[in-house]
Structure 1
Amino acid sequence: MTGRTLCIEDLIDEGKMGKRHYLIILLCGLVLFVDGFDTQCISYAVPHMAAQWQLKRAELGPLFSAALIGLMVGFLVVSPLSPRIGHKRLMIGSWVVFSLFTLATALATNVSEVIAFRFLAGIGLGGAIPSAIALTSEYSPKRFRATAVMLIYCCYSLGFVASGFVAGALLSRYHWGSVFLVGGVTPLALTYLLWKFLPESIYFALRKGRTDTVEKLLRRHYPTLPNIRGARFVNSTTESDRIGVLGLLGSAERRGTICLWILVFLNLGVFYFIQSWLPTMLHSLKYATDSIVWVTTLTTIGGFCAAFVIGPLMDRTGPYLTLAALYLGGAASMLWMASSISAEPKVLMCAAFAVGFCVSGGQKGTIALAIHFYPTGLRATGTGWALGMGRLGGILGPLLAGVLYSAQLSIDEIFRIAAAPVLLGAAVTFVMRWIYSESKRTEAAVM
């Protein structure tokens, strides 16, 4: 093969999945696990903060949203540094920043400190997550790529579940800072595993002209490839206008990018409203602590189960119809939740599972749609910016819910209002399907 030009994407797509690939999925999944744990633990800690510092309802919103604002900054500002630094270095550096400021949160003595530390921790986590997704996608063959990303997003859901059980075990005995102590020490202890076992991006090595490193990484992760010694490696994305943020708004992807941003914005707005406010709302209705934990956790379990259904359906029936049906189901389940909010705990738990299946499952499905939609050169940037725009919805969702809650709207009314953006998400998915089906028909007619 000496002197031949080989496309890295083709080599990866022809390769077989092995132990090293599953280790990458596991380690990148840990980053998403910590994201899920961190996102949910604040929901359990806020009622205890409110009791300690005598906070009013209107003062709770910033506690929920501080880390989400930091996440958005991390997605939009820090993650684009990966072409210069490399996914591995950026991920680990951001991971350490997150861990340290999460530990600082555990030691906070007032609301302002909690908000500041949560914001800074969010920036760190926001810098790590896109690189974890990009690295997982990069080393996965095309036939397994969406499944790999769905698997690491299952770790995100597991982080939510673990947060509920850890909070249930700690908050009844210890100070609210104990959950942040666990949330900071655990990732810090795992930093060595990330540094030791995660590979650097093949494309980063290619951009830096490190041909020997590219060859070494390919041989290590795809040992069944034919002899590639001395080959010239290229990336299939060669046009500069197809790489980076500006590429997202090019003529081919502009409308789809806008649709994806709207979808993730709507989904995460509702998702974070549920995860942030549901424990507090149920607490105000005098539900037992164990019931509150189970209802909230079941929304996450529903999303976890959805991942194993959505992936095969998207492969068989296409991503658009599957996702649109999921959003329609989400609107119906939100209405069911509204009618069950004062019902028996078992009924409420069933409704919570359905909400999680459709809303949390819709989050995973939307990211899978982004992977399906964007070409290789835009996939990491497109996913990162979609998540960044989604976090804007995640910031505004809890804040708007706080305004409605402070205005003395009933909890069932708030859930009925929240069904509207989920229904709108179904409409946007249908529009995106129509746009790109029409584009394909136009291209076929021209040919």
Structure 2
Amino acid sequence: MTQTSLRESIDSRPMSRYQWFVVALATALMGLDGYDVQAMAFTANPVSADLGLTGTELGLLLSGGLIGMALGAIWVGPFADRFGRRRMLVIAMIINAAGLFLSATASSMPELMAWRVITGLGVGGILTSGTVLVSEYSNAKYRGLCMSIYAAGYPVGATLGGLAAIPLIGNFGWQAVFLLGGAVTVLAVIFVWLKMPESLDFLGARASGPQASSDGSEQRRAEEIAARMGITGPVTLEREDPSDTGTPGRSKNSYAALFSPENRSRTLLLWAMFFIVMFGFYFANTWTPQLLTEVGFSTDEGIMGGIMLMIGGTIGAVLFGVFASRWDVRRVQAVFAICSGAMFIVFISATAWLPAALVAGVLLGMIINGCISGIYTIAPMTYAPRLRSTGVGVALGVGRTGAIIAPIAVGALLDLGATPTVLYIGAGIIVAMAAVVVLRISLHQRTASELRANPVAARD
């Protein structure tokens, strides 16, 4: 019987229940990340009142988790490529839970800032490993949809966090928001350790490298996972061509490989796209509750505006995946970026009347979260398997610099007298620029089945 590469089998077969389970589990983790990151946004007003914060100090706190996310994403990539994506996912979740529990104990701005950075370290590691696992366990036809479902977990978690924040803060104080997040993350660590499989492409890369086990354990683990997916018959782990990174003889999980002749252009373009989209996304999601109070809404109404962004985001993330399963993912991303830029302006123009602002918030959330689905879909497709976690992790880290700059810049500009209208128009212009960048990114051609599913990419 002819042996088939396991990667070829996954790409060409319909999605099994087990594959959808992996997508669902990773999506739940993305929901926890959404809760963790937005916890600071939804507690902004009580924390500011309790700790006596200025706008600039609040901006720094809103960016604290994002700083940690950038460092965590960059740090975890090479370790995940070397030691396993599942193992690093569990470690990152433990760090995340610790940061949340410690945040509830903070009594000063510097102390809370430190714990938010720790929380972000864990979140960055979770995002890196989770993104790669979902991409690898999806088939070629539905990879874009699966990545969009995964990205939709963020607004769902953030929405639930916003709904929970109002009664938690009212009854127990802002600290309860962080305690709840930590408790749920601990439960998730146990479940992931028991149920999440290892990356098949990691097993293949390890089996073909100097760290391969002498007893063939990588092959056995792959066969066990294949059986869960209903793949029968002889299967082989996909072995890599030494030229995949364009740097023969160089360690393929090194940061330097991102700038090999083959990867340099796609790396820089991917970084630019991540920076721009993350800037707009975190501007909208971290400051909207506070900025709505600046134009006359109450604190609860401001939180509700933030929730509307998250509700729209859930719809938009999945909608992006539906479009990406029919058309080239880069063109879909370009359209979403242009529409996002326009919706920033529409949203702030609608704030004279609360119902109009809430409707516009849903639409803005739909489109900007679609852009997030796009970057999560495109990033794993940009690099060869052995370099994938490193490439995705560094791109996430670079993107987080845009996310970090956005809240700090808004806080400083508010202190200088800038109006919410000016801030939203500026953010809209920046986000629209992503359309130009994404159309120039070339994708790594991994398998024949994937090329058949994406003929536009095959011509690049």
Counterparts of 1:237 and 1:126 in 2: how far apart (Å)? 29
- The one-letter code of the counterpart of 1:407 is L
Q: Is the 8 A contact 2:77 2:394 kept in 1?
A: no
- Given the alignment of the two structures, is residue 258 of structure 1 paired with residue 261 of structure 2, yes or no? no
1:365 aligns with 2:379: no
Which of 234, 239, 249 is the aligned partner of 2:243?
239
Choose the corresponding residue for 2:227, options 220, 233, 240: 220
Q: What's the secondary structure of 1:316's corresponding residue?
A: coil
Q: Distance in 1 between matches of 2:14 and 2:438?
A: 33
Give secondary structure in 2 for the equivalent of 1:199.
coil
Amino acid at match of 1:268: M
Distance in 1 (CA, whole Å) between partners of 2:16 and 2:336 is: 32
Contact 1:79/1:126 (CA < 8 Å) preserved in 2? no
Structure 1 residues 16-165: aligned runs within 5 Å? 16-165=14-163
SS at match of 1:107: coil
1:297 to 1:203, Cα distance in 2 relative to 1, 3 A: same
CA shift for structure 1 position 372: 4.2
SS at match of 1:223: coil
- Would you say the 8 A contact 2:271–2:395 is kept in 1? yes
Q: Percent identity?
A: 25
Aligned counterpart for 1:172 among listed residues 155, 170, 173: 170
- Give the alignment's Cα RMSD to 1 decimal: 2.5
CA distance in 2, matches of 1:317, 1:224: 28
Match of 2:449 in 1: none
Task: Write the distance in 2 (CA, Å) between the matches of 1:384 and 1:37.
Answer: 21
Structure 2 counterpart of 1:17, one-letter code: M
CA distance, structure 2, for counterparts of residue 233 and residue 22 of structure 1: 21
Gaps of 5+ in 1: none
SS of the aligned residue for 1:68 comes to helix
Partner of residue 415 from structure 1, selected from 424, 436, 440: 424
Q: Secondary structure at the match of 1:251?
A: coil
- Is residue 300 from structure 1 mapped to residue 310 from structure 2 by the alignment? yes
Match of 1:351 among 338, 356, 360: 360
Rounded to whole Å, the distance in 2 between the matches of 1:425 and 1:25 is 27
Question: In 2, are the aligned partners of 1:79 and 1:128 still within 8 Å (CA)?
Answer: no
Task: Give the conservation status (yes or no) of the 8 Å contact 1:146–1:371.
Answer: no
CA apart distance, 1:290: 3.6
| Matched pairs, number | 433
| Contact map agreement 2:3 2:234 (CA 8 A) in 1 | no
CA contact (8 A) 1:237 1:377 kept: no
SS at match of 2:326: helix
> In the alignment, does 2:409 pair up with 1:400?
yes
User: After the TM superposition, which parts of structure 1 deviate over 6 Å for at least 4 consecutive aligned residues?
Assistant: none
Distance (Å, rounded) in 1 between the aligned partners of 2:9 and 2:331: 32
Counterpart secondary structure, 1:152: helix
| Structure 1 residues 131 and 174: CA distance shift in structure 2, 3 A | same
Q: Distance in 2 between matches of 1:304 and 1:5?
A: 40
1:315 aligns with 2:319: no
C-alpha contact 1:237 1:376 (8 A) present in aligned 2: no
Q: Is the 8 A contact 2:32 2:157 kept in 1?
A: yes
Q: Are the counterparts in 1 of residues 311 and 362 from structure 2 also a CA contact under 8 Å?
A: yes
SS of residue in 2 equivalent to 1:143:
coil
**Distance (Å, rounded) in 1 between the aligned partners of 2:133 and 2:401:** 24
The DSSP-based 3-state class of the residue aligned with 1:317 is coil
